[in-house]
Amino acid sequence: MLKQFLNLKLTQKLSPQQIQLMKLIQLPTQAFEQRLLEEMNENPALESGKEEEDYDKDEFDNNDEYDDYDDSDRIEADDINIDEYLSDDDTPDYKTQTNNYSDDDELRESPIAAPISFHQDLINQLNTFILDDHEREIAEFLVGSIDDMGYIRRSIPDIVDDMAFTQGIYTDEFMVERMLQVIHQLEPSGVGARDLQECLLLQLKHKTPTDSVDLAADIIENQFDAFTKKHYDKLIQKYNISNDQLKKAIYEIEKLNPKPGGGFTGNNKVTENVVPDFAIRIIDNELELTLNGRNAPSLHVSKDYQEMLQTYKDSRDKSGAQKEAVQFIKQKLDSAKWFIDAIKQRQETLFVTMNAIMHYQEEYFLDGDETKLKPMILKDIADIVGLDISTVSRVANSKYVETPYGTKLIKEFFSEAMKNDQGEDVSTLEIKKILQNIIEEEDKKKPLPDDQLAEMLKDKGYPIARRTVAKYREQLDIPVARMRKKI
C-alpha cells in the first residue's frame, strides 16, 4: 500500500565553491597554472600582474534609487549594492599580497623541437628499398602496425584480413612474411619483431659475428625458456661450455634493447617534467620551507569592470540593457573575487600541510637517512593542522618537494607502523630500505630466498613473516631469488 509522509533529516552537501576549492588544492603546480589560464580566459574581470596605478575611489551614496526592473528570475539590479564592488580602501588586499617569484622560478622559454616521429622515420627508411606499389602498400601497413615499443603484436593472418577489409589491399601470408623481412632490416634493429625472443634474435643477427654472439643467438633461438628461467647449469651442460663462455654470451644478450622503439629519440610522446611544489632547505641546521612562487600569482579584479559599475551608478537614465549588463558584471566580479580568495586559501592549505609534514619528519630532512622516517599516516597530519583527511590526501598525492637529497613525491613519506623487537613503532619504509640493502649486498651467485631474508631481518630486530618480506620485495620491484642469480 502506497503512503505519503514527510521525513525531516539533516544532510551535508558540498557547495560548488567548496568542490572547486578541493580541486584547486589537488592540482600540482603545472596543472594549477593551466587552470589559472583557463579561469582568466573565461572571466574577463580577472587580471594578472600588478596594477600600474591606483584606482581613484570616491564615496557614494548607497541609497540611490533606480528605475524598476521586472525580471523575477534574477536578482534585481536595484538590489545590488554597487559600493561593495567599488573598493574604498586606499590599498586593496590584493595589492598587499606578495609574489614569491625568485630567479629560479622564472618561466624560461625553450625552443620547440619538431622531431620526426618513430613511424615516419621507418617510412623514410623504406624509401631506400626498391619496392613496387603493391609491396610498398603492404610494407607501410606493417609499419603502421608497429607499436611504440617497436613490436607487431598481431598475427600474420589477422594482418592479411585487416588489409583486405580496411584498405582494400588483397595479398597472402607469404607476401606479408616477405615484406616483414624487409621491415626487420630497418633501424633500430629488432623493430617489427612479434615477441621478445624474435626481437633479441634480430638484434644479435645484426651484430658482428663472434663466438660469444653466435652462442648467444643459439641460446635465444633454441634455449630461450631455460635462459629466461636462469637455468645456467643446464645451459653449460647442453652446450658443453665453461662458466666464463656462458658469462660472455649472457653479457652480449644483456646489452640488447628489449624495447627498440622506446629508445627512439624522435618519439613524439610528451615529456613530463616534475616541477617541485615546495622546497626545503637547511639553514644553520634549521629547516626552511618555501612554496613554489608559481603557486602564488598576482591577481586583481579588473579596473575596467569597476569603472563600468561606476558609470552605471552615475547614470540617471538606466535602460533595460544597462540593467542586463550590471547583472553580468556582478557575476564576473563575484567569480573573480572568489577565485582570488580560493587561491589564497589554497596557498595557506598547501603551506601548513607541508610544514606539518616537514616537522613531523624533521630527523629525515636534516640528514637524509631514510631509516629515520617515522611511521606517518594521513590522520597524523590532519590532526596537527586541523584539516580533513581527504584534504591532506589531496595535498600529498600529487605534489613534489625539493629537498637537499633530491625531489620527492610527498606521499612517499607516509607509511604504516610496525613493531620491532623492542616494541617500538618503526616505519615500513625503514624496513623496506634495510631489506633493499640486504639484497644489494647478497652474493648474486647464491641469492637469498624470502625465508632467509625474513631471518636476517629478524636478527636485525624486525620480526616479520616471510609473506610480508615477499610483499615488500614486490613493492620494491625486486624479483625472486632465482631471477636475481648471476654467474
pLDDT of residue 272: 58
Q: What b/e readout covers 4-39, taking b as 16+ CB neighbours within 10 angstroms?
A: eeeeeeeeeeeeeeeebbbebbbbbbeebbebbeeb
* Nine-digit cell string for 307: 569603472
pLDDT tens column, 9-68: 776 666 677 777 788 888 888 888 888 888 888 888 788 766 544 434 343 333 343 333
What CATH number labels 420-487? 1.10.10.60
| pLDDT for residue 69 is more than 80 | no
Judge whether 321 and 67 are in contact, CB under 8 Å: no
How does pLDDT run across 297-340, given as a tens digit for each residue?
Answer: 888 777 777 777 677 666 666 667 777 777 787 788 888 888 88
How high is the pLDDT of residue 360?
92
Q: Which of 40-44, 93-97, 172-176, 330-334 has the lowest mean pLDDT?
A: 93-97
- What Å distances lie between residue 462 and 373, 375, 424, 457, CA to CA? 16, 15, 10, 5
Taking the C-alpha atoms of residue 313 and residue 307, their distance in angstroms, rounded to an integer, is 10
Instruction: State the Cα–Cα distance between residues 22 and 217, nearest whole angstrom.
Output: 57
Q: State the pLDDT at residue 113.
A: 54
Q: What percent of the chain has pLDDT over 90?
A: 25
> What is the overall mean pLDDT for the chain?
80
Instruction: Give the pLDDT mean for 468-485.
Output: 87
Cα–Cα distance for residue pair 377/414, rounded to 1 Å: 5
What's the first-to-final CA gap in the chain, in angstroms?
Answer: 80
Nine-digit cell string for 295: 603557486
Omega before residue 28 within 30° of 0, cis: no
* 2-6, 239-243, 374-378, 481-485: segment of lowest average pLDDT: 2-6
Which stretches within 302-427 are classed as H helix?
Answer: 303-314, 320-360, 362-367, 378-385, 389-397
pLDDT at 298: 80
pLDDT band for position 184 (cuts 50, 70, 90): very high
pLDDT at 56: 41
Report H helices in 87-231. 93-96, 118-126, 133-144, 156-162, 173-183, 196-206, 211-222, 224-228
- Identify the residue with better confidence: 370 or 380: 380
Q: In the prediction, which pLDDT does 201 show?
A: 93
* pLDDT given at position 72: 37
Average pLDDT (196-225) is 92
- Span of 49-58, 236-245, 411-420 with lowest mean pLDDT: 49-58
Separation between Cα atoms, residue 259 and residue 153, nearest integer Å: 13
Q: What is d(CA 72, CA 116) in angstroms, rounded to the nearest whole number?
A: 60
Is the pLDDT assigned to residue 396 strictly greater than 90?
A: no
Q: In a 3-state reduction of DSSP, which class is residue 278?
A: strand
**Which phi-psi region, left, alpha or beta, contains residue 131 (left: φ > 0; alpha: ψ -120 to 50)?**
beta
Confidence of residue 148 (pLDDT cuts 50, 70, 90): confident
H/E element, 419 = strand 417-419
Instruction: Give the pLDDT confidence score for residue 81 in this predicted structure.
Output: 55
Domain limits, the chain: 16-51+77-90+271-414, 118-254, 420-487
Q: Which pLDDT value is given to residue 1?
A: 64
Q: How many whole angstroms separate alpha carbon 184 and alpha carbon 179?
A: 9
Contact 334, 16 (CB under 8 A): no
Identify the pLDDT of residue 6.
Answer: 79
pLDDT, residue 317, reads 62
Q: Nine-digit cell at 236?
A: 653449460
Categorize the per-residue pLDDT at 419 as very low, low, confident or very high, splitting at 50, 70 and 90. confident
For residue 146, what are the β-bridge partners? 152
Residue 218 has pLDDT above 90, yes or no: yes
Per DSSP bridges, beta strands 278-283 and 400-403 are parallel
Give mean pLDDT, residues 417-434.
Answer: 80
Average pLDDT over residues 426-453: 87
Say what the pLDDT of residue 249 is. 92
For 448, other C-beta atoms within 10 Å of its C-beta total 18
**Rounded CA separation 295/419 (Å):** 40
Q: Residues 83-97: what's their mean pLDDT?
A: 49
* CA–CA separation, 286 and 296 (whole Å): 24
Rounded to whole angstroms, the Cα distance separating 70 from 63 reads 19
Residue 460: CB atoms within 10 A of its CB come to 14
Q: Could you give the angle at the alpha carbon of 414 between the alpha carbons of 412 and 419, nearest 5°?
A: 125
